[in-house]
Amino acid sequence: MENVLVTGGAGFIGSHLVDVLMSNGTRVHVLDNFTTGTTLNIRPWHGDPNFTVTKGDLLKPSELAKLSNGNFETVFHLAANPEVRVGITHPDKHFQQNLVATKNTLEYLRKKGNMAAIVFASTSTVYGEPAKIPTPEDYSPLEPISMYGATKLACEALISAYAHTYGFKAIIYRLANVIGPRSQHGVIYDFVQKLKKKPEELEILGDGTQTKSYLYISDCIDAMLLGLEKTKNQFETYNVGSDDQTNVKTIAKIVAETMQLKNVKLKLSGGVDGGRGWKGDVKNMLLDSSKLKSLGWKPRLNSQQAVEKTAKELVGTTRS
């Protein structure tokens, strides 16, 4: 890759991807509206001749014209609303920021032409609550139970249609819970913030038994780049996750220990619909990533190791 576009490149996953691409000598252009992303995440590359950044909103097609160089070999489309719970009270936000933004991106790329590949960050939530655990890519039916999962699945369908109609390569990554430094949402981040305010008690949404796979950010980036390099088919979908799971109560205890807090009372909200943290919360998630592993990828950290490392990093950032 010589020239790439990263939408959402100032966000959590996007900025870590930018770090690796820039370190590899790739020319990188970031497009971000900076609602959740921050310039701090990409500050090390400001001033580098191989790095450019444009503030723009994918919901406004005219702003895509701000891109100084539209001849991108690869587009990593990571821009999205990452907060699953917002879909409960504001479903239109996910519709707009996930689906409409993706449609506008695809239209821009169609009109520009000369694009080799698009890489899309999807999610495990497209499966809903599958009967088969671990869940493979060919599992059906896909029945997402959140607006976030529904709009991501719709994005997958749009990308497939554009790829097959207009002849470019497309890779979909269905990600487990990706964690690590710079994350500004999710269970570990939330627990750290709650314990900062009230160190003697930690509220846990749901019954605490929610059990999921957690993937460290560097393992996620390795997967995305390896899949792009090795994939020969015009369109491909990969699960990306660790081989094991951990539950919310265990995460709570790890965060409390990392913050050197003792005798923290865990206050369970009880949740909804059988102990979920919120409507649309999937209680049990574990992906079958053997398809991607067959290409040579393997996560370095399991779920608990990823949680422990992330907790130390987020707590350290808070203290500094």
User: What Cα–Cα distance (Å) separates residue 251 from each residue in 126, 154, 230, 259?
Assistant: 24, 31, 34, 12
**Residues classed as catalytic:** 148
**C-alpha closest to that of 46 among 81, 76, 9:** 9
pLDDT of 46 over the 50 cut: yes
**Length, in residues, of the chain:** 320
Q: Mind listing the pLDDT tens digit for each residue in 170-185?
A: 999 999 999 999 999 8
CA quadruple 270, 275, 281, 284: dihedral sign:
positive
Higher pLDDT, 279 or 87: 279
* pLDDT band (50, 70, 90) for residue 88: low
pLDDT at 2: 87
CA–CA separation, 160 and 235 (whole Å): 7
pLDDT at 94: 85
pLDDT at 11: 96
Mean pLDDT, residues 290-317 taken together: 96
CATH match for 3-178+213-240 among 1.10.645.10, 3.30.930.10, 3.40.50.720, 3.20.20.140: 3.40.50.720
Contact predicate 207/275, CB 8 Å: yes
CA–CA separation, 294 and 256 (whole Å): 37
* pLDDT band (50, 70, 90) for residue 81: confident
* pLDDT band (50, 70, 90) for residue 161: very high
pLDDT of 158 over the 90 cut: yes
Contact predicate 157/149, CB 8 Å: no
CA quadruple 259, 276, 242, 224: dihedral sign:
negative
Q: Poorest-confidence range of 70-79, 105-114, 127-136, 265-274?
A: 105-114
pLDDT at 67: 80
CATH match for 186-212+244-283+301-319 among 3.30.470.20, 3.30.505.50, 3.40.50.300, 3.90.25.10: 3.90.25.10
Q: Mind listing the pLDDT tens digit for each residue in 270-301?
A: 888 889 998 899 999 999 999 999 999 999 99
pLDDT at 320: 47
Task: Locate the domains of the chain by residue range.
Answer: 3-178+213-240, 186-212+244-283+301-319
Q: Mind listing the pLDDT tens digit for each residue in 122-151?
A: 999 999 999 999 999 999 999 999 999 999
Q: Mind listing the pLDDT tens digit for each residue in 201-242?
A: 999 999 999 999 999 999 999 999 999 999 999 999 999 999
pLDDT at 69: 64
| pLDDT above 70 as % of the chain | 96
Mean pLDDT, residues 10-17 taken together: 97
pLDDT at 319: 56
